[in-house]
Amino acid sequence: MSAGILMAEWWFTVARLLRQLHWIVLHIFMLLPTVLTLFVFTAAYESPRWCVAKKDMTSAEMIMLCAAKKNKFPLTTTASMLGLLKEEFALSEARFQVTGGDVSGARELRHRALVMYCSSFVITFTLFSVLLLEAEVSSRTNSWFQWSSICGMLVGFALLIVA
């Protein structure tokens, strides 16, 4: 949450410097960080931990071998670690088959934690940048901007509660 506050403060400072611009340009400027989130997964590499958690051992093995080559780590050591990981995975699968427990809870929990973090970041960013900027912009525009900001904040809180 502190990362969201720091980014919002920096963004708000830059927005203050640009306050002479038209309100549409300011609105586009304030929405730019949300556009960047669309491209995060093209640049972020998947961790082998997530692949193991998703039970995708072939992808985890491929990622670990690529990382070992890139970091000049001995491939024999990596292969032995992969063997141990596969054995542990097989034992884990055997335990789950014996207990018959529902494994979908972990996936749901991970998804909900990610949604809550993203919602918290968006709400914090909105509160400390868009709504603080609104006080300066509202003197030059109509009151519809204030009401749209409040509605946006309420939608953000509703998403946080529903998730």
* Angle 48-52-54 from CA coordinates, rounded to 5°: 115
For 76, half-sphere exposure in the C-beta direction (CA atoms, 13 angstrom radius) is 0
Distance CA 139, CA 113 (A): 39
Which candidate, 112, 93, 110, places its Cα nearest to that of 101? 93
Q: What is the pLDDT of residue 163?
A: 61
Q: Write out pLDDT tens, residues 109-155.
A: 777 777 777 777 777 777 666 666 666 655 555 666 667 767 777 77
Given a cut of 70, whether residue 24 has pLDDT beyond it is yes
Given a cut of 60, whether residue 104 has pLDDT beyond it is no
Given a cut of 70, whether residue 47 has pLDDT beyond it is yes
What's the rounded mean pLDDT across residues 76-81? 90
Tell me the domain boundaries of the chain.
2-42+104-162, 45-99
Distance CA 157, CA 163 (A): 10
pTM equals 0.37
What's the rounded mean pLDDT across residues 76-95? 84
Distance CA 163, CA 87 (A): 36
Distance CA 123, CA 8 (A): 10
